[in-house]
């Protein structure tokens, strides 16, 4: 199922399997400009593209020549046509007809007229494919030859042999308005071939707007009489010819008509090919924006499949249903995730329009599943930002988080940042008593998971191997609060198991812990009968509880070994406590095998009680450490079991007279016991039994002492408990995991399908007391870490929250410091540039020196505080949270010094601006004075010139 579902989106990709279409045509219509290998076309769009490609040129010259060349005497006739000599032609012969066909193709009007008038050529003759001279003339757009042929009786409605084209089709394909008008005047049927493809189709194929307008003007039908056939509007929209679409719509083209088996409308064809202008025209002419094709797809679905973002936005603007469902229950948001080129843009547009981000298809896949499956990390994060449920599961019980971890792991750190951002602090200083920290748990409880419980996200994290996230302060606090609300139900279960264990222990002690000798009456105490019946009743209740849990979810039930332990206890108790035993007066009649079963079951019962007690946060770490060490010790023992077997067999050979080594099985057990130091050296070598093989026995025994008792025992103990601190961390994490599983298990019982018949009020009461969102603060929680009166959380959890907030504050201060230093250096460089430009002006040199001195004096101040703003780790946070630390005081002083520096820089900048304004004003006044001086000099020069001219005139007169 999963392998099939992985390619479900690829079923929407139509591959280009026909080699007859040019790559350039598909390149223009490909999804992404980066790749033209995968194109998304419906079968109907493929058909239109094929016909449009074929009708670019109806018949090539080479093909016509090859067809005519197959006729008799074709070479000689072709030579006559080229030379223009028809004297050898026999009137009304086949050669005369062939010559007329050649002349119609070549386009010589005089030769055509000559052949018709003097050689008896028939204007209705045709080639082997049924094409007449009028076909060839109209195909070449030669109106003069067409007129001559029509005047001589050529049929304007003549079909070719395949009944595909008439002369009117040829004229439309040739974009010849003159030929079209000429044919229409000679009674050509304008709608001929409308059942398949009319002349209007051929004109649209060539985007011949004038021809289309002429045909429509003279009565061409823009619709077809038969349903599900290709109308001219389908052709124009599939090819994106906007002018043709506009003309067709103005002349009454039906926007509702459907085409082909896919039942595509014109809006479908325009939307899937991203022809925005065509889509706009169709919508303006009342096209149904939510119309469906045979696959129940709307135009919006096809636009999303082809990544047509402009079309998607236009359809949404005109009211397209973004949550409409098509094949396999998928929505437009599912369809948008097909290629990464413009996937994010389409998804963003749909999300803004209100698309349901958690809508699952028939296989249980949400858009988040498919985005993660296709490794579109940007889309994954966008969906999460818009409230996608990362705990949603497919029909195969695979969560979206599982896909995210495996396919887009780069999203996980962003989720952690979301967790960090859910812990906020108010405006007070972190060290103040009034400092409040708010924890928002809404990220841990997705909206889609409300009907499955509040710990679904935590369980999903555990399932995908991200259980370390549970140690985040937000998750740890959430688990603590959940445990505090749900522990009442656990305490009831613990009390039940404690009573069950105590009664069963009383029964075991009263029945089986007796040494009955022959000839002596051995009876059980009087309370055994009552206790036995109580044990049976409690055991049956336990059996009913386990059956209920199995019916609630068998797969999840079977993966916990504690459930298997419960079944072992249930069956063991049923074997130990039977009505036959309860009615037995003498304990000697109790079978031996029941003693074996009772010994095992009483051990398992108390172990189960210990594991239940370990669910408490207080004792959980220690129980988990015990379990961890026991597992590790068992692994090491299995690794070295061969060595123990070897010594056990050797001891069986060497000490076969010793009781403990007579049996091979007990010899192995004795060897394992001797690991603890119980060697019994004196009893073996100096006891009543003589050692048969003294030298070898001493050597093997010494080897056992050195290799097993000294080396192996110490090695196993050291390896099992080598890293105590790491063991504590691991045990703490395991405790959180087990606590989350326990809370989820208890919580899921209230949402079980098996309790739908239970009293509604009782279920509501249980949910209200167990769920965190029904509490007073709902999913928001506020603490005061510095207030000793605030005892809502344990000190270790408060300390972790405080560390997280402090580290984030330090990072923010470090970022601000770097930004301030960058701004300061930028301002310093700008001052230096201004000073370098003012070197030419002597009066600005003192100011430059002052600025440089000021800047050089501030630089050491900046570097002196670098150590104060170094980010600190979580381990540097003081245990005492009251008051301000020395580092906080230094930071305050540093911030104050920075503010002083900034104020001084602002003052300096203001002074520089003021001085610049004065200099500009001085320059303006100097410029004005210089202009006035130049004007005065020019005027004086003119006066002097006039005086010199007058003197020269007087001198000339004299």
Which pLDDT tens digit goes with each residue over 819-832? 777 777 777 777 77
Q: Does residue 784 form part of some domain?
A: no
SS3 track for 24-88: HHHHHCCCECCECCCCCCCHHHHHHHHHHHHCCCCCCHHHHHHHHHCCCCHHHHHHHHHHCCCCC
- Give yes or no for residue 350 having a pLDDT over 90: yes
Q: Strand ranges (DSSP E) for 159-262?
A: none
Tokens 């040494």, residue located: 515
- Look at residue 33 in the predicted model and tell me its pLDDT: 27
Q: Of the candidates 153, 188, 221, which is a domain's last residue?
A: 221
Q: How confident is residue 321, by pLDDT bands cut at 50, 70 and 90?
A: very high
- Give yes or no for residue 848 having a pLDDT over 70: no
- Look at residue 922 in the predicted model and tell me its pLDDT: 74
Nearest Cα to Cα of residue 681 among 663, 666, 702, 665: 702
Q: Does residue 785 form part of some domain?
A: no
Same domain, yes or no: 87 and 215:
yes
Q: Which residues does 694 contact at the CB level (< 8 Å), separation at least 6?
A: none
- Look at residue 616 in the predicted model and tell me its pLDDT: 76
Give the lowest-confidence range in 374-388, 663-677, 866-880.
866-880
Does residue 107 or residue 644 have the better pLDDT?
644
Distance CA 867, CA 389 (A): 44
Distance CA 392, CA 416 (A): 19
Residue 781 forms beta bridges with which residues?
439
Does residue 819 or residue 417 have the better pLDDT?
417
Distance CA 929, CA 944 (A): 23
CA distances (Å), 549 to each of 246, 546, 566, in order? 67, 5, 12
CB 310 within 8 A of CB 341: no
CB 497 within 8 A of CB 522: no
Same domain, yes or no: 609 and 662:
no
Distance CA 7, CA 949 (A): 104
- Look at residue 10 in the predicted model and tell me its pLDDT: 35
Give the lowest-confidence range in 302-316, 665-679, 800-814, 842-856.
842-856
CB 656 within 8 A of CB 689: no
Same domain, yes or no: 635 and 529:
no
- Look at residue 7 in the predicted model and tell me its pLDDT: 37
- Look at residue 20 in the predicted model and tell me its pLDDT: 38
The side-by-side arrangement of strands in the sheet containing 437-440 is 423-425, 437-440, 780-783
Same domain, yes or no: 705 and 681:
yes
Same domain, yes or no: 582 and 650:
no
Domain count along the chain: 3
Burial of 578 (0-12, 13-18, 19+ CB in 10 A): middle
Same domain, yes or no: 68 and 123:
yes
- Look at residue 955 in the predicted model and tell me its pLDDT: 55
Distance CA 623, CA 552 (A): 28
Q: Does residue 762 form part of some domain?
A: no
Same domain, yes or no: 597 and 648:
no
CB 660 within 8 A of CB 667: yes
Q: How confident is residue 194, by pLDDT bands cut at 50, 70 and 90?
A: confident
> What's 87's domain CATH number?
1.25.40.20
Mean pLDDT of the chain: 78
- Per-residue model confidence as pLDDT tens digits over 2-31: 333 333 333 433 333 333 333 333 333 322
Give the lowest-confidence range in 270-279, 280-289, 361-370, 610-619.
610-619
- Give yes or no for residue 442 having a pLDDT over 70: yes
Same domain, yes or no: 664 and 572:
no
- Give yes or no for residue 340 having a pLDDT over 80: no
- Per-residue model confidence as pLDDT tens digits over 140-162: 888 888 988 888 888 899 888 88
CB 478 within 8 A of CB 444: yes
Same domain, yes or no: 675 and 564:
no
CB 198 within 8 A of CB 186: no
Same domain, yes or no: 573 and 693:
no
Same domain, yes or no: 645 and 740:
yes
Question: What's the mean pLDDT in 595-622?
Answer: 85
SS3 track for 823-848: HHHHHHHHHHHHHHHCCCCHHHHHHH
Give the lowest-confidence range in 124-128, 415-419, 596-600, 929-933.
929-933
Q: Does residue 759 form part of some domain?
A: no
- Look at residue 901 in the predicted model and tell me its pLDDT: 66
Q: Does residue 540 form part of some domain?
A: yes
Question: What's the mean pLDDT in 640-649?
Answer: 88
> What's 743's domain CATH number?
1.10.287
Q: Of the candidates 190, 206, 221, which is a domain's last residue?
A: 221
CB 444 within 8 A of CB 458: yes
Does residue 814 or residue 580 have the better pLDDT?
814
Question: What's the mean pLDDT in 720-745?
Answer: 74
Question: What's the mean pLDDT in 240-264?
Answer: 89
The C-alpha R_g of the chain, in whole angstroms, comes to 48
Same domain, yes or no: 634 and 609:
no
Q: Does residue 737 form part of some domain?
A: yes
76-85, 308-317, 766-775, 820-829 — most confident range = 308-317
| The two structure tokens encoding residue 520 | 């002596």
Q: Does residue 134 form part of some domain?
A: yes
- Look at residue 755 in the predicted model and tell me its pLDDT: 67
pTM of this structure: 0.67
Distance CA 284, CA 250 (A): 11
Q: Of the candidates 221, 242, 265, which is a domain's last residue?
A: 221
Tokens 């030929």, residue located: 179
Question: What's the mean pLDDT in 689-693?
Answer: 81
Nearest Cα to Cα of residue 476 among 726, 724, 733, 784: 733
Domain that holds residue 697: 628-751
Q: Does residue 175 form part of some domain?
A: yes
Burial 595-620 (b: 16+ CB within 10 A, else e): eebbeebbeebeebbebbbbbbeeeb
């Amino acid at each position: 199922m999963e392998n099939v579902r992985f390619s479900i989106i690829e079923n929407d990709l139509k591959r280009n399997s026909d080699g007859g279409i040019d790559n350039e045509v598909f390149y223009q219509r490909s999804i992404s400009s980066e790749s033209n290998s995968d194109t998304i076309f419906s079968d109907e769009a493929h058909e239109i593209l094929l016909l449009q490609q074929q009708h670019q040129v109806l018949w090539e010259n080479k093909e016509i020549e090859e067809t005519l060349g197959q006729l008799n005497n074709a070479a000689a006739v072709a030579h006559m046509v080229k030379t223009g000599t028809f004297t050898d032609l026999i009137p009304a012969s086949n050669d005369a007809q062939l010559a007329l066909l050649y002349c119609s193709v070549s386009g010589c009007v005089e030769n055509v007229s000559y052949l018709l008038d003097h050689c008896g050529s028939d204007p209705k003759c045709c080639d082997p494919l049924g094409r007449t001279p009028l076909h060839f003339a109209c195909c070449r757009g030669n109106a003069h030859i067409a007129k001559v042929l029509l005047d001589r009786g050529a049929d304007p409605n003549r079909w070719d042999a395949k009944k595909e084209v008439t002369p009117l089709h040829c004229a439309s394909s040739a974009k010849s308005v003159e030929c079209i008008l000429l044919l229409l005047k000679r009674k050509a049927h304008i709608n001929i071939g409308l059942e398949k493809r009319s002349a209007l189709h051929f004109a649209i194929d060539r985007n011949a707007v004038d021809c289309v307008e002429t045909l429509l003007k003279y009565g061409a039908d823009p619709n077809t009489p038969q349903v599900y056939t290709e109308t001219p509007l389908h052709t124009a929209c599939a090819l994106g010819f906007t002018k043709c679409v506009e003309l067709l719509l103005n002349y009454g083209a039906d926007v509702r008509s459907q085409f082909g088996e896919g039942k595509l409308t014109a809006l479908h064809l325009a939307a899937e090919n991203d022809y925005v202008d065509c889509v706009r025209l169709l919508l303006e002419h009342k096209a149904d924006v939510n119309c469906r094709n045979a696959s129940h797809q709307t135009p919006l679905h096809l636009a999303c499949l082809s990544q047509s973002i402009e079309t998607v936005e236009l359809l949404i603007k005109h009211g397209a249903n973004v949550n409409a469902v098509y094949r396999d229950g998928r929505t437009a948001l599912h369809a948008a995730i097909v290629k990464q080129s413009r996937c994010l843009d389409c998804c963003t547009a749909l999300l803004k329009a209100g698309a349901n981000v958690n809508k699952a298809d028939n296989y249980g896949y949400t858009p988040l599943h498919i985005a993660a499956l296709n490794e579109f990390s940007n889309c994954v994060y966008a969906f999460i930002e818009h409230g996608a449920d990362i705990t949603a599961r497919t029909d195969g019980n695979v969560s979206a988080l599982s896909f995210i971890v495996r396919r887009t792991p780069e999203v996980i750190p962003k989720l952690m940042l979301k967790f960090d951002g859910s812990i906020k602090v108010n405006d007070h200083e972190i060290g103040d008593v009034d400092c409040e920290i708010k924890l928002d748990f809404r990220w841990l409880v997705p909206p889609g998971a409300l009907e499955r419980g509040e710990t679904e996200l935590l369980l999903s994290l555990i399932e995908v191997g991200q259980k370390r996230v549970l140690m985040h302060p937000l998750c740890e606090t959430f688990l603590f609060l959940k445990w505090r609300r749900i522990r009442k139900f656990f305490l009831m279960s613990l009390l039940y198991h404690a009573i069950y264990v105590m009664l069963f222990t009383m029964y075991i002690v009263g029945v089986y812990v007796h040494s009955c000798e022959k000839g002596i009456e051995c009876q059980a105490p009087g309370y055994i009968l009552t206790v036995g019946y109580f044990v049976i009743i409690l055991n049956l209740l336990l059996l009913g509880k386990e059956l209920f849990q199995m019916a609630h979810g068998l797969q999840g039930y079977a993966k916990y070994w504690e459930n298997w332990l419960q079944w072992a206890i249930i069956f063991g108790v049923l074997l130990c406590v039977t009505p036959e035993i309860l009615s037995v007066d003498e304990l000697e009649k109790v079978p031996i095998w029941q003693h074996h079963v009772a010994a095992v079951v009483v051990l398992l019962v108390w172990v189960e009680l210990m594991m239940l007690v370990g669910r408490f946060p207080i004792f959980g770490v220690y129980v988990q450490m015990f379990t961890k060490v026991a597992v590790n010790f068992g692994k090491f023992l299995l690794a070295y079991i061969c060595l123990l077997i070897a010594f056990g067999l050797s001891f069986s050979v060497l000490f076969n007279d010793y009781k403990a080594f007579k049996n091979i099985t007990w010899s192995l057990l004795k060897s394992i016991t001797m690991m603890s130091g119980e060697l019994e050296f004196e009893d073996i070598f100096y006891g009543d039994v003589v050692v048969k093989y003294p030298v070898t026995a001493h050597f093997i025994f010494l080897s056992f002492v050195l290799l097993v008792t000294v080396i192996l025992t110490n090695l196993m103990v050291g390896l099992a408990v080598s890293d105590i601190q790491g063991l504590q961390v691991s045990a703490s994490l395991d405790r959180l995991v087990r606590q989350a599983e326990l809370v989820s298990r208890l919580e899921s019982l209230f949402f079980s399908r098996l309790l739908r018949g239970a009293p509604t009020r009782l279920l509501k009461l249980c949910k209200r007391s167990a769920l965190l969102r029904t509490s007073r603060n709902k999913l928001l929680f506020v603490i005061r870490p510095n207030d000793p009166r605030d005892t809502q959380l344990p000190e270790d959890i408060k300390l972790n929250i405080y560390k997280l907030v402090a580290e984030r504050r330090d990072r923010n201060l470090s970022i601000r410091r770097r930004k301030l230093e960058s701004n300061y250096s930028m301002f310093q460089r700008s001052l230096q540039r201004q000073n370098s430009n003012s070197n030419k002006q002597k009066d600005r040199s003192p100011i430059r020196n002052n600025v440089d001195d000021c800047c050089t004096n501030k630089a050491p101040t900046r570097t002196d505080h670098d150590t104060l703003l170094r980010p600190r780790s979580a381990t540097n946070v003081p245990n005492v949270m009251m008051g301000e630390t020395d580092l906080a005081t230094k930071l305050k002083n540093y911030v104050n010094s920075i503010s002083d520096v900034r104020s001084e820089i602002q003052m300096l900048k203001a002074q520089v601006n003021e001085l610049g304004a004065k200099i500009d004003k001085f320059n303006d006044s100097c410029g004005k004075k210089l202009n006035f001086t130049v004007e005065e000099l020019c005027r004086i020069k003119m006066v002097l010139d006039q005086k010199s001219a007058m003197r020269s005139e007087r001198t000339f007169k004299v």
